[in-house]
C-alpha cells in the first residue's frame, strides 16, 4: 500500500514577525461570533499532521497534549515537535492566541492535541494515521477533556478499510472529522479528483478559494466536497517562532476545524446540550453561502459564521444567539 502524504502546499513567504488578524480568519467571520462562542474555550482540536511547535509564542498555552506516531525522533512517542512546518501552520490558523501580537486563529481559546503522524518529509504510514485517530477518540485531558474536532490536512490514493472504520468510530463518538480535499485539481470541475480520507462520506471535505472568492485552481473537485474556505496566501504560525504564507487545501481545512470548535460552544449554550456530529454538521452548513460555482467545486459554499445573524438583521429580527435553530 502507498504511504499517506502531506497534501502538497506552496510556501509563498516566510516572515520573522507578524501583527494582524489573518485575512482568512476575517473572511470566515470568526471575530463576529467570538463572544457567543467564547472563542472556542474548552474545545480540543486534534491536529493530525507533522507535529506542532508547542513553544511558538502565538501558541503559548494552546497545546494541551501531543504524541508522536512516526519513526522521527527515534520513535519517541513524547516528542511531537514539528520538523516540517505544516502542522504548526495549521495549528495557528485554528487556535493562535488573541493577544495582539503575531497572528490570531479562528478559535483562539481552543486547545490543540498535536498528533504527529507524518515525518519531516511529509510522509507517513496509513497505520500511523489510524492509530492517531483512535488515540484522539479515546484521549482524555488532565481535567477530563475530550477531543471535539479532528483536523487532517493529508491524503493518499488508497481506500483503506481500517482508516475508514477509524473515521466512522470518531463520528459515532460525536467528533467531526475535517479533511482537506487535496491539491490535484486541474481547474476543471468536470474532471473529478479523489483522495482518501477526503472521499469518505463521513468526513467534512474542504476545498480552497482565494480572497476574490474564486476556486483555487489546485483545489480538488468531486461529488463529496462539503464546503470551501480560504486556502490561498494564508498567513499563520511557522516553526522557530516565525510566520509563513502558504497556499493549499491544507490551509483551508483549519479554518473549518476552528469554525466547528466555535459552533460546539455556541450551540451547546443555545440548546443546553452537546450536539451530535450530524447536528454540528447541519449547523455548519447552515452557515455557508454559495459562490456560484458547481457543487463539485464548492459543495454547500463558503463557511461564513455570522450568516444567520446577517439574514435576521436584514429582516429586522434582533438579539438572536448564534446557535438558533
* Residues recognised as catalytic: 49, 86, 250
The residues pairing with 241 across neighbouring beta strands, listed in sequence order, are none
CA angle 240–242–244, rounded 5-degree value: 125
Closest by Cα among 234, 158, 162 to 198: 158
CA 121: distance to chain centroid? 21
C-alpha distances in Å from residue 6, one per residue of 163, 227, 288: 16, 20, 27
The residues pairing with 66 across neighbouring beta strands, listed in sequence order, are 114
CA angle 229–91–161, rounded 5-degree value: 75
Collapsing DSSP states into helix, strand and coil, what is residue 280?
A: helix
Buried b (16+ CB within 10 A) or exposed e, 57-85: ebbeebbbbbbbbbebbeeeeebbbbbbb
C-alpha distances in Å from residue 123, one per residue of 16, 90, 147, 304: 27, 17, 24, 33
Cell numbers given for 160: 483503506
Amino acid at each position: 500500500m502507498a504511504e499517506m502524504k502531506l497534501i502538497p502546499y506552496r510556501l509563498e513567504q516566510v516572515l520573522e514577525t507578524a501583527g494582524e488578524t489573518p485575512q482568512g480568519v476575517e473572511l470566515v467571520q470568526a471575530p463576529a461570533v467570538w463572544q457567543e462562542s467564547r472563542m472556542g474555550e474548552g474545545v480540543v482540536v486534534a491536529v493530525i499532521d507533522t507535529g506542532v511547535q508547542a513553544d511558538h509564542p502565538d501558541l503559548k498555552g494552546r497545546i494541551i497534549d501531543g504524541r508522536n506516531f512516526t519513526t522521527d525522533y527515534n520513535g519517541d512517542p513524547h516528542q511531537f515537535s514539528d520538523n516540517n512546518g505544516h502542522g504548526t501552520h495549521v495549528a495557528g490558523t485554528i487556535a493562535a492566541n488573541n493577544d495582539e501580537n503575531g497572528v490570531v486563529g479562528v478559535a483562539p481559546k481552543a486547545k490543540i492535541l498535536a498528533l504527529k503522524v507524518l515525518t519531516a518529509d511529509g510522509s507517513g504510514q496509513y497505520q500511523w494515521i489510524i492509530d492517531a485517530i483512535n488515540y484522539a477518540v479515546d484521549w482524555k485531558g488532565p481535567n477530563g477533556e475530550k477531543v471535539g474536532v479532528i483536523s487532517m490536512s493529508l491524503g493518499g490514493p488508497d481506500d483503506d478499510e481500517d482508516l475508514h472504520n477509524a473515521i466512522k468510530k470518531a463520528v459515532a463518538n460525536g467528533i467531526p472529522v475535517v479533511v482537506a480535499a487535496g491539491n490535484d485539481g486541474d481547474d476543471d470541475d468536470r474532471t473529478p479528483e479523489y483522495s482518501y480520507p477526503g472521499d469518505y462520506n463521513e468526513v467534512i471535505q474542504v476545498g480552497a478559494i482565494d480572497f476574490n472568492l474564486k476556486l483555487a485552481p489546485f483545489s480538488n473537485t468531486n461529488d463529496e466536497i462539503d464546503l470551501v474556505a480560504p486556502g490561498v496566501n494564508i498567513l499563520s504560525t511557522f516553526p522557530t517562532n516565525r510566520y509563513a504564507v502558504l497556499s493549499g487545501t491544507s490551509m483551508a481545512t483549519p479554518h473549518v476545524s476552528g469554525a466547528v470548535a466555535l459552533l460546539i460552544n455556541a450551540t451547546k449554550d443555545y440548546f443546553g446540550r452537546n450536539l451530535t456530529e450530524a447536528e454540528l454538521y447541519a449547523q455548519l452548513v447552515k452557515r455557508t453561502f454559495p459562490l456560484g460555482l458547481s457543487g463539485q467545486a464548492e459543495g454547500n459554499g463558503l463557511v461564513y459564521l455570522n450568516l444567520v445573524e446577517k439574514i435576521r438583521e436584514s429582516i429586522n429580527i434582533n438579539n438572536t444567539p448564534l446557535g438558533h435553530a
